[in-house]
């Protein structure tokens, strides 16, 4: 497992620093990188808000169909990515029954990333929220704290580490997503081409060195995310 990853770094380094920068600052590659990172940030931000809301509704609210919802959350995780792309294409693509033709636009990239990253924040927050005692909230409410204040002062601080680690995972996943985008985004250079697709194009053209350069940049990002996660979890562990 490690040797192959080391090979990526070695091949990337073989071209020298200048070659490395040349590949990364190539117009098309740079456009792909900024698009990917931009959309990933956007999706992660959305996941932080909606994911927390979803977890909240799943834990605190009681209504018919809640357990179905609970299973649906996991679907993007288990669904093959290519099928996820196909599925989204059937609703938001050229043959959409509602006339929503969003495929091959930047919104389609966002849609695919949102689909595959739904479970991360929800699944990170849910167990923490389940263990959270309602006593403190009730005490605060009985002392006259308005709901907004309870959420901000009591609930959010205890959820923050879970939200953080969920967000890191969803960001990492969004950056590296490939399968669901193949069919949906159209992979138009400069417009909807993400980093993974760019890497694959390099590989298919036999330009392994360039592929390795871009891949190593992605590896570094993945590593950073893992380190952040590790630090967050350690801090939580100490507090508990």
Partner 1 sequence: MAESQARAGSRGTLRWLLRVIVVGYLVLLIALPIGLLLWRTFADGPGELFDALADSEVISGLRLTVIIALWAVLINLVFGVTISILLVRYEFWGKRVLSALVDLPLSVSPVVVGLALVLVYNGRDGWFAPALNAAGLQVIFNSPGMIMATCFVALPLVIREVVPTLTEIGDDQEQAARSLGANAVQTLWRITLPSIKWAVVYGVVLSLARAVGEFGAVKVVSGNVTGRTQTATLVVEAKYQGFEQPAAYAVAFLLVGVSIACLVVVALLRPQQLRS
The binding site for partner 1 (CB under 8 A) comprises 1-5, 7-8, 11, 50, 53-54, 56-57, 61, 63, 65, 69, 71-76, 78-83, 86-88, 90-92, 97, 111, 114-115, 118, 147, 169, 172-173, 175-179, 182-183, 195-196, 199-200, 203, 208, 211-212, 215, 218-219, 222-223, 225-227, 229-230
Dihedral angle over CA of 93, 99, 100, 102, nearest 10: 50
Q: State in angstroms the smallest separation of the CB of 40 from partner 1.
A: 12
Q: State in angstroms the smallest separation of the CB of 28 from partner 1.
A: 16
Buried b (16+ CB within 10 A) or exposed e, 49-67: eebbebbbebbeeeeeeee
Q: Which of 21/230 has CB closer to partner 1?
A: 230
Q: State in angstroms the smallest separation of the CB of 33 from partner 1.
A: 13
In DSSP notation, 11-41 reads HHHHTHHHHHHHHHHSHHHHHHHHHHHHHHH
Q: State in angstroms the smallest separation of the CB of 135 from partner 1.
A: 18
In DSSP notation, 63-110 reads -TTHHHHHHHHHHHHHS-HHHHHHHHHHHHSTT-TT----TTSHHHHH
Q: Which of 86/236 has CB closer to partner 1?
A: 86
Q: State in angstroms the smallest separation of the CB of 138 from partner 1.
A: 14
The conformational region for residue 103 under phi > 0 = left, psi -120 to 50 = alpha, else beta, is: beta
- For 143, counting Cβ atoms within 10 Å of its Cβ (0-12 exposed, 13-18 middle, 19+ buried), the class is exposed
Q: State in angstroms the smallest separation of the CB of 143 from partner 1.
A: 14
State the Cα–Cα distance between residues 44 and 237, nearest whole angstrom: 24
Q: State in angstroms the smallest separation of the CB of 163 from partner 1.
A: 16
CB 176 within 8 A of CB 81: no
State the Cα–Cα distance between residues 22 and 150, nearest whole angstrom: 52
Q: Which of 11/158 has CB closer to partner 1?
A: 11
Q: Which of 8/129 has CB closer to partner 1?
A: 8
């Amino acid at each position: 497992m490690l040797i192959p990853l080391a090979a990526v770094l070695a091949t990337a380094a073989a071209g020298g620093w200048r070659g490395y920068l040349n590949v990364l600052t190539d117009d098309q590659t740079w456009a792909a990188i900024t698009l990917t990172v931009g959309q990933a940030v956007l999706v992660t931000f959305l996941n932080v808000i909606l994911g927390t809301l979803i977890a909240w509704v799943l834990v605190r609210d009681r209504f018919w169909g809640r357990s179905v919802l609970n299973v649906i959350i996991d679907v993007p995780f288990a669904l093959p990515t290519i099928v996820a792309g196909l599925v989204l294409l059937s609703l938001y693509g050229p043959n959409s029954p509602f006339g929503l033709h969003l495929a091959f636009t930047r919104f389609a990239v966002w849609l695919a990333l949102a689909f595959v990253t739904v479970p991360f924040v929800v699944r990170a927050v849910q167990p923490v929220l389940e263990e959270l005692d309602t006593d403190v909230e009730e005490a605060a409410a009985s002392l006259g704290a308005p709901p907004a204040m309870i959420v901000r002062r009591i609930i959010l601080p205890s959820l923050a580490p879970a939200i953080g680690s969920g967000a890191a995972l969803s960001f990492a996943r969004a950056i590296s997503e490939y399968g669901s985008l193949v069919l949906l985004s159209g992979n138009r250079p400069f417009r909807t081409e993400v980093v993974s697709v760019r890497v694959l194009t390099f590989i298919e053209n036999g330009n392994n060195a360039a592929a390795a350069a871009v891949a190593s940049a992605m590896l570094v990002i993945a590593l950073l995310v893992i380190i952040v996660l590790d630090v967050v979890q350690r801090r939580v562990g100490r507090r508990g």
